[in-house]
Structure 1
Amino acid sequence: MKITLAAIVPRRNRSKADAFETLIADYTKRAARYVSTETQLFESESEFVMWLGGQAGRVAPYAILLDSRGKQLSSEELATLLGGHRDQGTQRVVLAIGPADGWSAERRGQAGMLLSLGRITLPHQLARVVLAEQVYRGLSILAGHPYHSGH
């Protein structure tokens, strides 16, 4: 299984804050110890959709779109979700943070799942860090790594 952490962030809105990018890269590298993990940034929802359509292997990628109307999961529940896809042979899971105005109704309707990080609003860079950390945490839970205990 391969995990892609995607986000719609137009170049003009991309932060130059190295601290965010350093954290995202660190958690992505940690997650890659368990499964292939990468990050992707897109200019627009349509650019993301075109990229997603080109990622099909035997089956289309499983797209989890982050949306305020989505399901809220605990870290353990996210681990179970990722583990289920790994065990079922899903080739690629894409977790994507949408545009500033949110995903279109059409895109939400086509998603494999809508996931919410909670009821609070987060800037894209911070949401990317939280998502990367939670993916790493979920994978470490599946591996029985002690990272999760006590945090």
Structure 2
Amino acid sequence: MEILLAIIRPRRSPASEPDAQLLQRYIQRSSRYVPCDQREFSSEAALFAHLDRPARRTAPYLILTDSRGKQMSSEEFASTLGGVQDSGVQQVVMAIGPADGWSPEALRRASLTVAFGRITLPHELAAVVAAEQIYRALTIRAGHPYHHGH
């Protein structure tokens, strides 16, 4: 299984250097467990064009972040990712949505919609939180002490 953290970010709003460095740190740490990468898309349509490429053998497991999504503990998220991995899914895509929210069609296509609480976060912070939670979930599954030390 591989994980892609997809970020919808209009070209006019670049990530700041400290945010990008922290995001990359968690992506690199996660890559010790499974192939993991992050990619920016200019729009929801661009993300779905990427997901709909015909070269895929199986559809990705799509996790959308949305304040109305399911609130999960880190352990529940780790269990969910583990179940997805055990089912043979080749790719998980966790996506940070557009500033105006996901379209109804995107929400219908999602395998899972999760919330980082009821708060609204800027894209840069939401991406770092998502990357850290992916890393935390992978360490929980691997029995690594990271989860208990933080």
TM-score (normalizing by structure 2): 0.97
CA distance in 1, matches of 2:62, 2:51: 8
> Is the Cα–Cα contact under 8 Å of residues 57 and 91 in structure 1 kept in the other structure?
no
Aligned to 2:5: 5
* Deviation for aligned residue 1:136: 0.1
CA distance in 2, matches of 1:118, 1:77: 14
CA distance in 2, matches of 1:111, 1:93: 11
What does 1:2-151 align with in structure 2 at a 5 Å threshold? 2-15=2-15, 17-54=16-53, 57-151=56-150
* Deviation for aligned residue 1:121: 1.0
Number of matched pairs? 150
CA distance in 2, matches of 1:56, 1:8: 22
Query: Which consecutive residues of structure 2, in runs of 5 or more, have no partner in the other structure?
Result: none
Over residues 55-105 of structure 1, what are the superposed CA-to-partner deviations in whole Å (9 max), with x where a residue is unaligned?
753211111111111101100011001111111111000000110000001
> Is the Cα–Cα contact under 8 Å of residues 76 and 138 in structure 1 kept in the other structure?
yes
CA distance in 1, matches of 2:64, 2:39: 14
Describe the shift of the 1:56–1:2 C-alpha distance in structure 2 as closer, same or farther (beyond 3 A). Answer: farther
> Is the Cα–Cα contact under 8 Å of residues 62 and 112 in structure 1 kept in the other structure?
yes
TM-score (normalizing by structure 1): 0.96
Q: Secondary structure at the match of 2:4?
A: strand
Letter of the aligned partner of 1:123 in structure 2? P
* Deviation for aligned residue 1:11: 1.2
Runs of 4+ in 1 over 6 A off after TM superposition: none
Percent identity over paired residues: 54
> Is the Cα–Cα contact under 8 Å of residues 65 and 97 in structure 1 kept in the other structure?
yes
Query: Which consecutive residues of structure 1, in runs of 5 or more, have no partner in the other structure?
Result: none
Q: CA RMSD in A?
A: 1.0
CA distance in 1, matches of 2:53, 2:91: 12
